[in-house]
Structure 1
Amino acid sequence: MGYKKASDVLPIELVQIIQEYIDGDYLFIPRKRGNELSWGEKNGTRQAFKDRDQMIYRHYINGASKEQLAEVYHLSLKSIERIIYKEKE
């Protein structure tokens, strides 16, 4: 989610009308129906975690211990176990 200055993207008349309702505060404008994105889709975070999890699983099936993976990836043992279980499916 990015921030834009209303006066840079909206007609001044519309800004003045909005100011009658909310003056000087932040206003969130949701995406149109059908244009919604899930968490991490816009900036690639979701894909980065997916790639990381697949790499962790590959290392695990190639012999790395859960403890080693937790240390290398700076994750808890419980997180590593969750990732391995999820990737097995």
Structure 2
Amino acid sequence: MKYRKAESVLPQELLEQIQQYIQGEYVYIPNKKGMKKAWGEKTGTRHYIAERNVGIKKQYYKGKKCEELAMEYHLSLASIRKIVYGNK
């Protein structure tokens, strides 16, 4: 979560109204419903992991063993099996 100064993003009138209720404290303003991003969307992690998993599946189907993939990708054998035997 990123903190921003209220005076740099809110109109002065709104800032003064908020100050009637709270001053000098942190206030969390949630996203609107339906606007929340899924895990990893903002940083690209979701995309990176999806591409990695495709690569793991390709190597497995070319004959590489799960144990070798686990060592190569620094993942547990159980994680590799979930990737390989999961969604095909």
TM-score between both structures, scaled by the size of structure 2:
0.79
> Alignment RMSD, CA only?
2.0
- Once the two structures are superposed, the pairs formed by residues 1-89 of structure 1 within 5 Å of their partners are 1-88=1-88
Distance in 2, Cα, partners of 1:45 & 1:25? 32
* Identity over aligned pairs, percent: 49
- Higher deviation after alignment, 45-54 or 2-11: 2-11
Query: Is there any run of 5+ residues in structure 1 with no aligned partner, and where?
Result: none
In 2: Cα distance, 1:21 partner to 1:78 partner:
52
5+ residue gaps in structure 2? none
Query: Do the aligned partners of 1:54 and 1:87 also contact (CA within 8 Å) in 2?
Result: no
Aligned length: 88
Q: Which has the higher relative contact order, 1 or 2, with Cα contacts under 8 A spaced 6 or more apart?
A: 1
TM-score by length of 1: 0.78
For 1:34-77, what per-residue CA distance to the aligned partner results, in whole angstroms no more than 9, with x for missing partners?
A: 32211111221111111111111111111111111111111111
The structure that is helix-richer by fraction is: 1
Deviation at 1:20, TM superposition (A): 4.6
